[in-house]
Structure formats: C-alpha cells, structure tokens
Amino acid sequence: MSSATFTSALSAGVGGSISHTREPPSVVHPILPADHAVALIDRCRSARHLLELHGAVLRAGLHHHPIVDFKLQRTYSALGRPDRSLTLLRLTPNPNVFFWTAAVHAHALHGLHHEALFLFSDMLSASVEPNAFTFSSALKACPLGPGRALHAHSLKLVLNSDPYVATALLDMYARGGEVVSARRLFDAMPEKRLVSSTAMITCYAKMGDLDNARQLFDEMDERDCVCWNIMIDGYTQHGRPNEALLLFRQMLSSSTKPNEVTVISVLSAIAQQGSVGSGRWVHSYIENNPIEFNARVGTALIDMYCKCGSLEDACKVFDSIENKDVVVWNSMIGGYAMHGHSHKALELFSGLRAEGLQPTDITFIGVLNVCSHSGLIEEGREYFRSMEKDYGIEPKIEHYGCIVDLLGRAGLVDEAYELVQSMKIPPDPVIWGSLLAACRLHRNMALGEKIANFLVRNGLANSGTYILLSNIYAAVGNWEAVAQVRALMKENKVQKEPGCTSIEVANKVYEFVVGDMSHPKSEEIYNMLEELNGLLRAHGYVPRTELVLHDLEEAEKERALGVHSEKLAIAFGLISTQPGTTIKIAKNLRVCVDCHTATKLIAKITGRKIVVRDRNRFHHFVDGSCSCGDYW
C-alpha cells in the first residue's frame, strides 16, 4: 500500500479528505524529525489532528520508524480509534511485544474483548512471547474459561507472581464469581495493593458476602472513591440500606469525597428505606458540592422522591432537567404509575413521543403498570399490542406480568391463564403469583388449586404460592385444607415473610410488626388505637373479620385486625406529629383490605393526609378516599 493510499484510507473515517485546519508549521513541513514527531503525537488531543500528523509522518518517510509508529498506534487507541491502531499493527513489519501489547490493551480498554483475545492468540502464533503487561491487558478481556488458560500460560512463563498479572488474575476470577480462587490469589500476594483489595471486595459484594467484604474494607490502610462506592453499592444492592447510609456518613467524615456514582447508590438506598428527609439532605448535598446534576443523577432523585412518597419533589426535579433522555421520562412515568396518577402517566407517555424519543421496554412496563393498577383493560391490551407492532419491542417477562395482573384484577382470570399458557417465554413466580392472587380475589378455587398443584409438582412453588393457596381455602372457610397447606409448608420448611410497617418521625425511622409491644410509647399507641376504634365504629366501620385467615372466634378476629402493623404505625404518627401533618408509612407487604378501609376513615376523622407505600404502590388517603380508587 502506498503512503498516499494509506493516508486516504485513514482519512475516510472522519468524513473524507484530510482536514486543512491550520497546525503548527512543523506538522506540514516536508522534513519532520522523529523526535519532533513523537512530541507532537504525545500532545495530540483529537483524531482529526492525529490524522494530519500521520499524513506528515508518511510524507517524511517515518512510517516505519519504530517509536513513531508505536506512538501513533497507542494514540489512535487513546483517542477511541482502536481500528486504526490495529491497521497500523498489521502494517508494521515484525511487530515486537510492545506493539502487540498496545493493541491488546486498546481493544480490552474499549470493551472489544473477543478482538483482544484474538490478538493475543495471533501474537502467540507469531512466536512473540507476552510480557506481564500483555497478560494483565488480556486478562481484563477474559471470561472464566479462557482466563484459566491464560493463568496456566502465565505459570509456564513464571509471570504469575508479577503484581500486575496477579491482580489481573484475581480480578478475572472475581468477575467470574470464583471466590475461593480469587481469595487464594489475594492471600498469596506479599503486598496488598489498593487495586487488588478493591477487586476482592468487589467479588465478595457481587456474591452477597458483605460481611467478608466489609472486613477487608475495614482492614485497608488506603481507600479511594471506587472502594467506598463498591461497599456502599453492595449494601444497597443486597437490601441493606441502613448500612449503606451509615457507611456514606463515614465517607463524608473521611478524606475521600463522594462522586456521582456514590450519590446514585445512596439515593437508591434511601429509596429502599423510604426516608424522604435523608433524600432531601442528599439532594442539598448534590446542589452544594461539585457533583454534576445530569440526567443520571436527576433520574436517581426522581426515583428516590417517588419511592419516598413525595411526588411533588419528583415532579420539580423532572422539570429542572434540561436534556431529558428516555430514562428520565421512564422514571417519571413509573412514579406517576406508582402513585396511582394514571392519566398523568399516560399524558407523559404522549409527551415522550411528542419529543421525538423512542419508547423502550422500560417505558411500556410503566405504562402497562398504570393500566393494571387503574383497571384500564382496553388501553392495556392496546399498549401491549402496539409494543411489537408499532415499536418493534418484543414483550419480556415483565410486560407479560403486567398484562396478566391487569386481566386477573379485572376478573378475567381465565383469559389471563390462557395468556400465560401461550407465552413465548416460561412464566416466572411473579406471574404465577398474580394468577393465584386473582383466583383468591375472585374466589376461583378450582383454577387456584390447579395452578398451585402444578407449581408444587414442578418444584416452582415458593412461600407466596403456599400463602395464596392457604388464603384461597380460608376465604371459603375450608379450614381443613388450610391446615393441610400449612402442614406442607412446615414439612418443606417454607417461612412466611412477616408483615412490617415503618414510619419516619423527626428523621428517625421506627418499625412495627403485628401486635408490637416493644416501642417505649406502646401504652400511648394502644390508647390512641382504642380511641380510633371508637371513632371508626361511630362512622360506620365494621371490621372485615372474613379476612382473618385463621379459625378463630369473631372477637379474636377483631382483636387480630386491630393490631395490624399499619394501624400501630399510624397511631404512633398521630401521637408524635402536629395536627395537620401528613403521615407517611411503608409496609413490606400488600396493605390488607381492612387496614385500607380503616385508613380512609382515619384520614377523614383526623383531617390528616395519610400516605401508605405497600409492596405494589402508593396509596394517598385524603378525606375518606384513596388515590387508588379502591382498585389495587
């Protein structure tokens, strides 16, 4: 290939001929000393300018100069053009290990893992022996299988003890979930560097072994932001938000400053915890510190405010984001769906399309959830059809789950069951749970038994399966069958998740379980419950004792309903806050019908707004009515 042809080929990637942008005179001078060329390449900051330099190199006859060639190859990679870097490698006669290593590193760095491994293989085929840097670069591109082969090869060349290679091997095993192998390598290291310790902590956090991760974290002499972020995110991802927030406070007291990744993880932890006070504090921290308020941070704030019950704050954040991408829109649509504002959510979907954005599969999960929780049957069917027909989005398990839930809630249980049987992908426990819940709600015992027996027979049953089947039998008073199901649960060691309700008062979160007497103010709480019961009955409240799924006397059933965790949390909120203050509580399970009925009346009697977040959605109780329209 001639110099002119090669220059032309390289130029094609940036839109045709080489730019005539003026550069320092030395760039276009016909005589370009090698050391001058190297200095100019090192200072180059754009692919277009590098092309011009490359042209000058070719005209000066330096295209086979080993240092100039190597610098060009590496700089193309650094500027995001590993393809041109590879072209240079292929044109270099007898490239040495440094040329090959630069190419392997470039492709691994840009996520071109298969290409990086093929290059490593080509290098071995060319009888070029890899060095420690080659191995560490190739290992970054390795899944577990090829990684083990590279480990064996590093042992053969006695490179496995090199700090870079050892750390890369540890990271490879950590990414593959091989905790034992990773730990063995870590323990064998004479010096525990920050990178190797971080890789080991990442491995433990990924596998959910947060206690071992924390032990290593606490033993570290030096910690950077990445290390703090991994530990905080580990707690967040594995449902331990309180520990994530405690660690964040420790980070604020350290010399390491949080970054964008930190606050996104922390906001996710707060969303799990439901503490809007903590969320507002972190929002203020973002505004008053050098953390860029971009779409990712904005989305995390919207999600946090929605899950903490403050839809108003979420809307303000949404409106303040200048360049909204589809992820931002999806988050706000999901927030409206969660709070029962179906029409606003669907209006936002129309707004998204009006902005010229293409809906994603996540968009349709939000829209179908809206339809499910609002009983919009025809609209839901139409959105489900339009996904594939109009947008080319193949339904995933979550979309099927939404439409099955929509049909089941509306009483179209047989249609929902037929849809499940015709699905292109195997139904998951959530879908089966939705079907069983619909059977319980609409007392379709025959189908409920059929589904439950199928799940038990095929080893697909979970605790929810047994609970729902038990509830179906209890709803029709078949206590013998209830006892059989509970005996089966005991035999299979299936544990029912206990109901728990939390409430935040004065920036502190309190938790209650059914019949809870552990709170220091229990006497005041139960006095308030007794007062409320009298007022409720005066307003026509009748306890829904048929919902107590135990074979008890009527009075015992009433007492059981009266001490549900939701009612205890509301009573505590009433005695702990000023009149007129909104009470916000969060329950880990679906709120029961009796508590829902009682809370509507409590909101009316006390003149309070009460916001309840349960497993499925938010309920806003105001003056005797709920935002869900009694459809949840």
Tens digits of residue pLDDT in 129-140: 999 999 999 999
pLDDT of res. 28: 40
41 vs 417: CA distance, rounded Å:
66
pLDDT of res. 509: 85
Question: What's the average model confidence in pLDDT over 77-101?
Answer: 87
Domain spans, the chain:
245-323, 413-491, 500-626
Question: What's the average model confidence in pLDDT over 452-456?
Answer: 83
Q: What is the DSSP letter of 23?
A: -
Please say whether the beta carbons of 574 and 531 come within 8 A.
Answer: no
Q: What does the block give as tokens for 376? A: 């919009």
366 vs 137: CA distance, rounded Å:
41
* Residue 494 or 60, more confident: 60
pLDDT of res. 392: 94
Q: What does the block give as tokens for 490? A: 């005991």
Q: Which secondary structure element, helix H or strand E, spans residue 218, and what is its range?
A: helix 210-219
CA distances from 306 to 276, 295, 372, 438, 521 (A): 9, 16, 18, 27, 30
Confidence of residue 460 (pLDDT cuts 50, 70, 90): confident
Please say whether the beta carbons of 433 and 414 come within 8 A.
Answer: no
Indicate whether 320 pLDDT > 90.
yes
Which of 629, 621, 611 is CA-nearest to residue 274? Answer: 611
Which of 434, 444, 432, 493 is CA-nearest to residue 473? Answer: 444
Planar angle of CA 6, 12, 15, nearest 5 degrees: 150
Select, from the ranges 153-157, 234-238, 507-511, the one with the highest average predicted confidence (pLDDT).
Answer: 234-238
CA distances from 187 to 167, 197, 376 (A): 11, 10, 59
Helix 429-441 vs helix 397-409: angle between axes, to the nearest 10 degrees? 0
Q: Where are the alpha helices (DSSP H) in 539-564?
A: 554-562
pLDDT of res. 465: 82
pLDDT tens figures, 147-156: 999 999 999 9
Please tell me the total number of residues recorded for the chain in this structure: 632
Helix H, strand E, coil C: the string for 600-626 is HHHHHHHCCCEEEECCCCEEEEECCEE
Confidence of residue 466 (pLDDT cuts 50, 70, 90): confident
Question: What's the average model confidence in pLDDT over 87-108?
Answer: 89
Cβ within 8 Å of residue 295, ≥6 positions away: 321, 323, 324, 325, 327, 328
Indicate whether 316 pLDDT > 90.
yes
Q: What is the mean pLDDT of the chain?
A: 88
pLDDT of res. 31: 62
From the number of C-beta atoms within 10 Å of its C-beta (0-12, 13-18, 19+), residue 379 rates as middle
Please say whether the beta carbons of 509 and 502 come within 8 A.
Answer: yes
Q: Starting from the edge strand earliest in sequence, which strands make up the sheet with 500-505, in order?
A: 508-513, 500-505, 583-587, 610-613, 618-622, 625-626
pLDDT of res. 273: 85
pLDDT tens figures, 380-414: 999 999 999 999 999 999 999 999 999 999 999 99
Confidence of residue 9 (pLDDT cuts 50, 70, 90): very low
Indicate whether 553 pLDDT > 80.
no
* Residue 246 or 37, more confident: 246
* Residue 212 or 59, more confident: 212
Confidence of residue 16 (pLDDT cuts 50, 70, 90): very low
Question: What's the average model confidence in pLDDT over 608-612?
Answer: 95
* Residue 96 or 31, more confident: 96
Indicate whether 21 pLDDT > 70.
no
* Residue 84 or 496, more confident: 84
pLDDT of res. 547: 59
Backbone angles phi, psi at 100, to 5 degrees: -60, -45
Is beta strand 583-587 parallel, antiparallel or unpaired with respect to 610-613?
Answer: parallel
pLDDT of res. 427: 92
pLDDT of res. 507: 81
Confidence of residue 29 (pLDDT cuts 50, 70, 90): very low
pLDDT of res. 550: 59
Is beta strand 508-513 parallel, antiparallel or unpaired with respect to 583-587?
Answer: unpaired
Question: What's the average model confidence in pLDDT over 593-611?
Answer: 95
632 vs 628: CA distance, rounded Å:
6
pLDDT of res. 569: 97
Indicate whether 26 pLDDT > 70.
no
The pLDDT > 70 percentage for the chain reads 94
Range from 24-38, 362-376, 502-516, 583-597 carrying the lowest mean pLDDT: 24-38
pLDDT of res. 10: 32
pLDDT of res. 12: 36
Confidence of residue 283 (pLDDT cuts 50, 70, 90): very high
194 vs 248: CA distance, rounded Å:
20
Range from 236-245, 491-500, 509-518 carrying the lowest mean pLDDT: 491-500
Query: Within 10 Å of residue 352's Cβ, how many Cβ atoms?
Result: 22
